[in-house]
Amino acid sequence: MKNSKSITSNLVILGSLGLLFLGACSNTNQVANTETPATPIAETPAASVAPVAQSNNEHGASKGGQVVETGTYHLEFLADKEAGGSHLDLYLLTGDTHETVPDANVTAEVQTPDGTEKTLPFTYNSGDKHYTAMLNEAASGQYQVRITADVKGEKVNGRFSFNR
């Protein structure tokens, strides 16, 4: 009986050492992801929701915000902290040359850190050629944002998040 327990514990030790050796010898670098990925506010059909927002500067149109490319549209979202709230900017562009879309109806569904949902209408700023809104919430934490733009009957969606 003593022999079988000894053999079992030796096999466990040998197996553990083998796994440690394989892990140490692997030629891959593991990097921790320190960015907070955007997540949806609520489940919606995959066909109508753009991919999760990620930084993307491959088209040269980036303003430094979170970008979603969906169909022929480029959505870029920025949130700037201000006293008593957050100033939200959305750049809605189309085509290979990323031309501004000035005549869309844009709204945001925002989930605050405490779970409260708010709907915000965006207005078009013709001087700066983008859409803006003010979120009058000062709570610290992560905010989930789902942008919906209606461009002449065509729905364009993007999901974003930001920390305050």
- Model pLDDT, residue 95: 84
36, part of any domain: no
The enclosing domain of 108 has a CATH number of 2.60.40.3340
Flag whether pLDDT at 37 surpasses 80.
Answer: no
- pTM (predicted TM-score): 0.63
- Model pLDDT, residue 134: 97
| pLDDT classification of 97: cutoffs 50, 70, 90 | confident
User: In the structure encoding, which two tokens stand for residue 158, read together?
Assistant: 């993007």
Flag whether pLDDT at 81 surpasses 60.
Answer: yes
Comparing C-alpha atoms, which of 157, 140, 147, 149 is closest to residue 78? 147
The overall average pLDDT reported for the chain is: 77
Give the alpha-carbon dihedral of 29, 30, 35, 38, to 10 degrees: 110
14, part of any domain: no
Do the beta carbons of residue 141 and residue 161 sit within 8 Å?
A: no
Phi, psi of 62 (to 5 degrees): -70, 140
Give the integer Cα–Cα distance in Å for 57 and 65: 10
| pLDDT classification of 46: cutoffs 50, 70, 90 | very low
- Model pLDDT, residue 16: 58
154, part of any domain: yes
Comparing C-alpha atoms, which of 88, 118, 127, 124 is closest to residue 105? 124
Tokens 């562009």 label which residue?
Answer: 93
How many domains in the chain?
Answer: 1
1, part of any domain: no
Q: Domain span at residue 93?
A: 46-163
Between residues 27 and 89, the one the model is more confident about: 89
Query: Can you point out the beta strands (E) in 35-103?
Result: 66-70, 73-82, 85-94, 99-100
31, part of any domain: no
| pLDDT classification of 84: cutoffs 50, 70, 90 | confident
| pLDDT classification of 58: cutoffs 50, 70, 90 | very low
Q: Which range among 39-43, 51-55, 66-70, 122-126 shows the weakest confidence by mean pLDDT?
A: 51-55
Flag whether pLDDT at 110 surpasses 90.
Answer: yes
88, part of any domain: yes
37, part of any domain: no
40, part of any domain: no
Please count the helices (runs of H) and the strands (runs of E) in the chain.
1, 10
